[in-house]
Amino acid sequence: MWMFVLTMVSHLSGWKKLAQRFPAKGSETGKTFRFQSAYIGWAQYSGVLTFVINPNGLGLSAVFPFRFGHPAVFIPWAEFHNFHEVKKFLQTVVVMEAGDPVITKLTLPRWVLDEYCQ
pLDDT, mean of residues 100-106: 96
Best CA proximity match to 86, nearest among 56, 108, 113: 108
pLDDT, mean of residues 63-89: 93
Residue 115's pLDDT is 82
The β-bridge relationship of strands 104-109 and 31-40 is antiparallel
Gap between the Cα atoms of 41 and 31, Å rounded:
24
Question: What is the pTM assigned to this prediction?
Answer: 0.92
Residue 1's pLDDT is 82
